[in-house]
A and B are shown apart, each in its own frame.
Chain A
Amino acid sequence: MIAFDYRTPGSLEEAYADLKELGSDGKIIAGGTALVIMMKQQLLQPTCVISLRNVAGLSDVAENNGSVHIGGLVTHAHLDASDVVQGKLPVLGATYHHVATQRVRTMATVGGGLAHADPNQDPPPTFIALGASFELSSAGGTRSVAAEDFFSDYYETVLEPEEIVTGVSVPLMGANSGAAYLKFLPRSADDYATVSAAAVVTLDDAKTTIKDVRIAMGSVNTTPVRATASEDVLRGQPLKAEGLREAGEKAKDHTDPVSDFRGSGSYKTQMAAVFVRRALEQAIANAG
């Protein structure tokens, strides 16, 4: 690794000032699970690393006004163990529970993971399916961006150089709703998914019709994607196995995967259809 300076600002304001001063030579570090690997590989060579370890107020998970707010510095392990998440959004806890290994989950933060924007990550599809929004803050203020609009390209987001992901807001699911996140892992438990799918389904009171549905996938494109074509064939339709299969097929419209050691592009597209259908089945079972 190339030598670098290390700063530990004591507040967000100080961190913003550091970012402004250093420009593209400065890199924010939170848990460091992604950044340090890229620095060791010399893919990234910041002259200064700005740690958020002394910044207070971004490490809480709390419920208020119908949504769960997650601070940007909450670790994966903390989120997974959080009573609020376990009680109100178990799908989110389960998603974070399956990220990499315990060691990574102990260090990696929610905000840091999102800013890293690897298209194979687990949390983004779940956040998109849940209709979450991300808080992006800078010296100029805070803006909120819908999860599905945040990822712009391979490892790229709409985050401006002077902005930090300071939190995530996730609306609570309504009555008769269920959610699921499924990760296809043919290799090892700590691997990235070959494909992944998240679904949130809301049924009518009789539980025979799909009132609303949101579906998202990971590892099938240069960003996580929302499968709107799949949603469109289900919304307002009666619950039928045939419909779920068709939704799975429609998910293929949103895929453009690369071939790699986890599978060929065409295999991943086929698997996306299977995993979207299975995620829907499980979400519906959880809604009942």
Chain B
Amino acid sequence: MKFSQSATVPAGREPLWQLLMDIPRVATCLPGVEGVEQLDGETYQGTLKVRVGPIALSLQGKIVLEEKDQAAWRAALRAEAEDRRVAGAMRGKSTMELKELSAGETELTVETDVNILGKIGEFGQPIIRKKADQMLTKFIDNIKKELAAN
């Protein structure tokens, strides 16, 4: 399942880049993410709590920052997580690109390709895309707030 979102963030490219590369800090901008910590180098672990209809998921897993190319203002991360109680797992990859619009404005484009596996995937397919869209919208809102606060 692929989706793309872009938004104009009222901040310069450099501070936005710094925020996005600070995984534990940027993770707090994604609703439902808890306890993100660095394991080693570019690998982090954490939990994503999300509701799909009546089902409460607690997805535990890893995030790997696979690409970090500040010269191209481009980064990619891969995430793998599973819920041990509800038979379900997710695997996804996200690519972020930052385009400078002006000194204080940056266009952030996030492209995500995610697979939801197991029963939850069959059950939740209709809603997962909508949920993911809502989460990304909130993520970008929270990033704006985080940058404004600093």
Contacts and interface: CB of A to CB of B under 8 A. Distances in A.
Nearest to B51: A156
Contact of B126 (A44, A45, A222): A222
A45 B86 CA distance: 8
Interface stretch (B23-31, B63-71, B117-125, B142-150): B117-125
Contacts of B56: 24
Tier of interface size on chain A:
10 to 19
Interface string A147-174: 0000001111000000000000000000
Contacts, number: 43
Given A42-B119, A43-B86, A43-B120, A258 B53 contact: no
A41 B119 CA distance: 7
Residue in B86, B124, B125, B126 whose Cβ sees the most chain A Cβ within 10 Å = B126
B41 interface: no
A154 B126 contact: yes
A153 B127 contact: yes
Contact of B127 (A24, A38, A154, A260): A154
B87 interface: yes
B125 A260 contact: yes
Contacts of B86: 42-43, 45
B54 A222 contact: no
Interface of A: 24, 38, 41-45, 117, 119, 153-156, 222, 258, 260
B85 A156 contact: no
Contacts of A24: 56
B55 interface: yes
Given A41-B119, A153-B53, A222 B85 contact: no
Given A42-B86, A45-B85, A155-B54, A260 B120 contact: no
Contact of A222 (B55, B123, B127): B127
B87 A42 contact: yes
A44 B127 contact: no
A15 to B, nearest CB: 18
B75 to A, nearest CB: 31
29 contacts: A24-B56, A38-B54, A41-B87, A41-B119, A41-B123, A42-B85, A42-B86, A43-B55, A43-B119, A44-B54, A44-B55, A45-B86, A117-B53, A119-B126, A153-B53, A154-B52, A154-B53, A154-B124, A154-B126, A154-B127, A154-B130, A155-B52, A155-B127, A222-B126, A222-B127, A222-B130, A258-B126, A258-B129, A260-B126
Interface in B40-66: 52-56
A24 B58 CA distance: 15
